[in-house]
Amino acid sequence: MEGAETETPTRKTYQEFQPKALGVSQITLGVFVLNSVYVSVANRLDQRNEEVTRAIGSLSAIVAGSVAIAAQSLHVPTLKACLGTQLATCLMAMFNVVVVGGKLSDTHLVPDCWLFTDYNNTHHHITCDKLMNSVYPFYVEWFLVHATLLGISVTLTIYSCKLLRFCSPAATSMPVVTAYTSPAQ
């Protein structure tokens, strides 16, 4: 019967929420973003400092996903750590969504293509346009991944707040109102 005693309603609700699946998804997307940052830097696809924010965001997603998986124990310090890491990941994902979304509205995704102005300009513009059109899907993909990370982080942040309210020691010591009546005669 020990297994039945440890299966509290709060634990059962938390397991139904499946934070492990969200944590694993968060880790996987974080690794994907980290890999795409590596490819972007290796190919000099992006010459700005946005790779740094994407890398930091992906590392925070990996850490937050790991803490979300560990929070299945419903241990209050672990839940607080989950809340903190998810909040940090929310902020990083929101920043990355804005930055990548801004890049999508930019008409020159590839900064200078290349500067071979000694050759036929028409051919240069056609090739440059083709290159920019081939890079655009990567930015759309990054935008969708960061938006997904934002959604997962917001969901886990909200749920961590709810669980902290139920699992904290203050929640178990709620005041009880007792009415005393005179004995019936």
Report pLDDT for 160: 84
Q: What pLDDT is stored for residue 120 in this prediction?
A: 54
Q: CA angle, corner 38, sides to 36 and 40, nearest 5?
A: 70
pLDDT of amino acid 144: 94
- The pLDDT of residue 63 is 94
| Listed residue (24, 80, 84, 90) closest to 57, CA to CA | 90
| DSSP-H helix ranges across 106-174 | 121-167, 169-172
Please tell me the pTM assigned to this model: 0.73
Specify the DSSP class assigned to residue 71: G
Number of H helices, E strands in the chain: 7, 0
pLDDT along the chain (185 residues), means of 10: 51 69 93 88 68 88 91 82 92 91 69 54 67 77 93 90 71 51 67
Q: Taking Cα atoms as reference points, which of 94, 26, 11, 18 lies closest to residue 66?
A: 26
* CATH numbers and ranges of domains, the chain: 2-105+136-171 (1.20.120)
Residue 109 DSSP symbol: S
Q: What is the pLDDT of residue 153?
A: 93
Are 61 and 27 within 8 A, CB to CB?
yes
Looking at residue 2, its pLDDT comes to: 39
